[in-house]
Amino acid sequence: MSFQKTLEASQEWARILHCSYVTDLNEIIEKGDIGELIRVSEALHEKRIANIADEIARKIDTRRLVLIAGPSSSGKTSFAQRLRVQLRVLGLEPVSISMDDYFLDREHTPKKPNGEYDFECLGAIDLPLFNEHLQKLLAGQRVHVPKFNFKKGARDEKPSAVIELQPSQPVIIEGIHGLNERVSSAIPREQKFKIYVSSLTPLYMTPEVRLSTTQARLFRRMVRDYRTRGTSAAETIRRWPNVIEGEQKNIYPFQDEGDATFNTALLYELGVLKKYAMYLLSEIPPEDSSYGKAQELLAFCRYFKSIGDEKDIPNTSILREFIGGSCFDVG
């Protein structure tokens, strides 16, 4: 399903659930019916992930390399974990590899014109080693997968895992360059199953104005990075333009290369993220360079009613990757 068709399908489901507009969501929250909306939204996610797993299983004899890519804060990690579970349901035993472990040591990482390291460019990855390992794995040979130590800016001497694939055993790889043919050039295209993951919110403010997908992802990232890395909302806002620049260069040009597309947006999520984000944004002082943007985001938050009770959000939810409480290792 193409990028545009995926969005249209999400909008159709929003209409079926009587939640096409922010006012609809607020009314559902006020009536106390939000638990049902959460359960149905999560069930729709699970059904779509199961469908993608079915498609992979049908093609497993020829396409064992599953590549997942998408922009920041799309929930790629949770999606990959849930896909792995669905593949297990079908009797497959997927192995997961992180492309991040194939980063070059810091001293060999390309730099931007301003002197900063460019971790998001393709040149930051050890492509010869990555492709060598892919070829060996698909040939049934044993591979010592490296472990990149982000604190040291170099690989650890000890590998993260020793992997040897059995016939019909898929390998799942998540990374921002997954849809770019150059990253896995040693493997023929017909042996890959590519998945584009993004958060395409179907909610509208008015019939002419759909909520900004980019802004919704910014809320996700702000909440997650504060919780998992102690990054302030102000710092996240300042970094965001560079994140968008990297996505426009490395992700969006390849978004239609996917064999499947998955929309991680949840109709109810901004009603949950709001309370976390408002607290973080209100801490930014007027003298901070991000204050203006923070005030804009605070004003946006006030359009939503808060969902205070999170008991109906399952621990497998993609939203848990950002607010905490996930049963997966995602933070």
Give the per-residue SS3 of 139-162.
Answer: CCCCEEECCEECCCCEECCCCCEE
Q: What is the DSSP letter of 109?
A: S
Q: How far apart are CA 327 and CA 314, in angstroms?
A: 9
Low-confidence ranges of the chain (pLDDT < 70): 1, 3, 331
- Neighbour-count burial of 35, counting CB atoms closer than 10 A to its CB (0-12 exposed, 13-18 middle, 19+ buried): middle
- Token duo for residue 26: 């607020």
| pLDDT score, position 1 | 59
Q: How far apart are CA 232 and CA 56, in angstroms?
A: 40
| pLDDT score, position 328 | 92
Q: CB under 8 Å, gap of 24 or more: what pairs does 210-218 form?
A: 211/22, 211/270, 213/265, 214/244, 215/297, 215/300, 216/265, 216/269, 216/270, 217/71, 217/72, 217/73, 217/74, 218/73, 218/297
Segments of the chain assigned E as strands = 65-69, 95-98, 143-145, 148-149, 154-155, 161-163, 171-174, 192-198, 204-206, 209-210, 260-263
| pLDDT score, position 331 | 62
Chain segment 23-62, per-residue pLDDT in tens:
999 999 999 999 999 999 999 999 999 999 999 999 999 9
User: How far are the Cα atoms of 10, 78, 163, 262 from residue 4, in angstroms, in the given order?
Assistant: 10, 23, 37, 11
Q: How far apart are CA 173 and CA 164, in angstroms?
A: 15
Q: How far apart are CA 79 and CA 81, in angstroms?
A: 5
Chain segment 304-327, per-residue pLDDT in tens:
999 989 999 999 999 999 999 999
| pLDDT score, position 47 | 97
CB 21 within 8 A of CB 44: no
List the one residue out of 199, 278, 291 whose CA is nearest residue 238: 291
Dihedral sign (CA 158, 193, 123, 150): negative
Total-model pTM: 0.94
Q: Which amino acid is at 306?
A: S
Q: How far apart are CA 172 and CA 194, in angstroms?
A: 10
Chain segment 242-272, per-residue pLDDT in tens:
899 989 999 999 998 999 999 999 999 999 9
Pairing outcome for strands 260-263 and 192-198? parallel
Segments of 5-104 assigned E as strands = 65-69, 95-98
Q: Which amino acid is at 67?
A: L
